[in-house]
Amino acid sequence: MEKKPRATRIKITERALFQRVNRKLKQDGQKLCTAHTESARQQLGRFYVVQTGENAGTKRAVSSGVVHMNVDLEKLAQKLEVIQPWEELAER
């Protein structure tokens, strides 16, 4: 008798996923950020990753120290393996 895969996926909040990603990125000296202004959102996307620590650069320019722009939170979480196959991002 074969077991059918469960269709139910656990929904996790954007905030919880954001924190998981940041904990993982911190190990590599990086940080996930959210654009708060419209101009920053147009330049960098809603989420972006910056380098932290000694290699961060100056904080004067909006894009200074940016490693990745226009980050898809759920895809990054899958790449970093901080979201399980049975979990999915809850709709906002």
Annotated domain spans of the chain: 10-86
Instruction: Report which secondary-structure segment, H or E, holds 56.
Output: none
Query: Could you tell me which residues are beta bridge partners of residue 86?
Result: none
pLDDT of amino acid 91: 83
Query: How many CB atoms neighbour CB 17 within 10 A?
Result: 21
CA angle centred on 19, ends 43 and 37, rounded to 5°: 25
- 25-33 long-range contacts (CB < 8 A, ≥24 apart) are 25/49, 25/80, 26/52, 29/53, 29/55, 30/67, 32/71, 32/73, 32/76
pLDDT in tens, the chain (92 residues): 666 666 789 999 999 999 999 999 999 999 999 999 999 999 999 999 999 876 555 554 455 689 999 999 999 999 999 999 999 999 86
pTM score, whole prediction = 0.80
Query: How many CB atoms neighbour CB 57 within 10 A?
Result: 13
